[in-house]
Amino acid sequence: MLELHRLAMRHSVAAVDRIRDGQWELPTPCADWDVRRLVEHMTAENLGFAAAADGEREDRGVWEYRATGAGPVADYRASAKRVVEAFGAPGVLDGRFWLPRINDARTFPARQAVSYHLLDYLVHSWDVAVAIGAPVDFEPELVAEVAVIAEREVPDTPRRLRPGAGFRPALPVPGTVPPLERLLAALGRSARWPQQSRD
What is the rounded CA–CA span in Å between residue 12 and residue 27? 17
Is 110 part of a structural domain of the chain? yes
| Residue 36 Cα distances to 8, 74, 93, 135, 158, angstroms | 20, 13, 31, 19, 29
Sign, CA dihedral 45-144-137-164, equals negative
Is 189 part of a structural domain of the chain? no
Q: What are φ and ψ of residue 102, in 5° steps?
A: -100, -50
Domain count along the chain: 1
Is 20 part of a structural domain of the chain? yes
Run means of pLDDT, 10 residues per run, the chain, 199 residues: 96 98 95 93 97 95 92 97 98 96 92 97 97 95 96 78 73 88 92 68
Is 166 part of a structural domain of the chain? no
Confidence (pLDDT) at 199: 40
Is 72 part of a structural domain of the chain? yes
Query: What residues make up the domain containing 128?
Result: 2-158
Which are the contacts of 130, defined by CB distance < 8 A and separation ≥ 6? 28, 29, 136, 193
Is 174 part of a structural domain of the chain? no
Is 79 part of a structural domain of the chain? yes
Here the CATH number for the domain that contains residue 31 is 1.20.120.450
Which are the contacts of 55, defined by CB distance < 8 A and separation ≥ 6? 95
Is 44 part of a structural domain of the chain? yes
What is the rounded CA–CA span in Å between residue 114 and residue 1? 8
CB of 191 closer than 8 Å to CB of 181: yes
Bond preceding residue 172 cis, omega within 30 of 0? no
